[in-house]
Amino acid sequence: AQSVTQLGSHVSVSEGALVLLRCNYSSSVPPYLFWYVQYPNQGLQLLLKYTTGATLVKGINGFEAEFKKSETSFHLTKPSAHMSDAAEYFCAVSRPGGGSNYKLTFGKGTLLTVNP
Amino acid sequence: EAQVTQNPRYLITVTGKKLTVTCSQNMNHEYMSWYRQDPGLGLRQIYYSMNVEVTDKGDVPEGYKVSRKEKRNFPLILESPSPNQTSLYFCASVKQGSNEQYFGPGTRLTVT
């Protein structure tokens, strides 16, 4: 079984400060990893994903994440927070391959607040 | 435009009154699924379908039914809704080979 743990249900940063959202996963096979963002009253938008290859993944809106197998982590970072980054962020894991492996297992989410 | 659509977007209903939430995708994806989102719990998969007439349970299937008679449509059926099914529901489809999920806009359901 797979699982995802997001450390910190609520993270607050100042505008211009570093954003660090933590995600650890458990998987019996090499995972595919995802970060999604959900703005208030909206659906889910894919920020970035790791499948294979380069472990540092760049996404939209200046976000990036690094897959660290030894630490079973996939933390999300952004060098400088913007007010528009305020949203809820979800880390998710799936298995490689098709069929039932497409299922996403989500973390419980981290609400990011950006203070002026 | 490639998209997943859901209807209705908002629904308030009463306990026991059957309802259906529709989901449609225009990307010819074979795999579709339903998730529910609850505060503090993230998203959990309800049902999924790997192709027409092929459906299977996810992690929280109790109280739900689905059908897949056409490739583009994957309705979620609540035959006797209860208050604990008050939630935000998302339909998703997957681009084969990429594991990339396309999510619908969500349906906010309230059962009183």
Q: Is the CB of residue B43 less than 8 Å away from at least one CB of chain A?
A: yes
Q: Which residues of B touch A98 (CB under 8 A)?
A: 31, 96-97
| Among the partner residues A43, A101, A103, nearest to B106 by beta-carbon distance | A43
Closest-CA distance, A69 to chain B, in angstroms, reads 20
Q: Which pLDDT belongs to residue A24?
A: 97
Q: Which pLDDT belongs to residue A40?
A: 87
**Portion of chain B with pLDDT greater than 70, in percent:** 100
Query: Which of B10, B44, B60, B101 to mutate: most A Cβ within 10 Å?
Result: B101
The secondary structure of residue B3, as a DSSP letter, is -
Q: Cβ contact (<8 Å) for B40 and A9?
A: yes
Q: Cβ contact (<8 Å) for A90 and B43?
A: yes
Rg, Å, chain A Cα set: 14
Residues in contact with A70: Cβ distance below 8 Å, sequence separation at least 6, in sequence order? none
Pair type for strands B107-111 and B10-13: parallel
Q: Which pLDDT belongs to residue A53?
A: 87
**Whole-angstrom Cα distance, residue B91 to residue A104?**
12
Q: Which residues of B touch A92 (CB under 8 A)?
A: 43
Residues in contact with B40: Cβ distance below 8 Å, sequence separation at least 6, in sequence order? A9, A108, A109
Q: Which pLDDT belongs to residue A42?
A: 86
Q: pLDDT tens per residue, chain B (112 residues)?
A: 889 999 999 999 999 999 999 999 999 999 999 999 999 899 999 999 999 999 999 999 999 999 999 999 999 999 999 999 999 999 999 987 777 889 999 999 999 9
Q: Is the CB of residue B41 less than 8 Å away from at least one CB of chain A?
A: yes
Q: Tell me how far CA of residue A24 lies from CA of A45, A69, B15, in angstroms.
A: 20, 10, 38
- What is the chain A residue with the closest CA to B89? A43
Q: Which pLDDT belongs to residue B6?
A: 97
**Whole-angstrom Cα distance, residue A19 to residue A114?**
9
**Whole-angstrom Cα distance, residue A3 to residue A65?**
18
| Among the partner residues B41, B97, B103, nearest to A44 by beta-carbon distance | B103
Q: Is the CB of residue B22 less than 8 Å away from at least one CB of chain A?
A: no
Q: pLDDT tens per residue, chain A (116 residues)?
A: 889 999 999 999 999 999 999 999 998 888 899 999 999 888 899 999 999 889 999 999 999 999 999 999 999 999 999 999 999 999 999 988 777 778 899 999 999 999 99
Residues in contact with A94: Cβ distance below 8 Å, sequence separation at least 6, in sequence order? A2, A31, A32, A34, A101, A102, A103, A104, A105, B99
Q: Cβ contact (<8 Å) for A51 and B96?
A: no
Select from B103, B83, B85, B84 the least CA-distant residue to B93.
B103
Chain segment B69-90, per-residue pLDDT in tens: 999 999 999 999 999 999 999 9
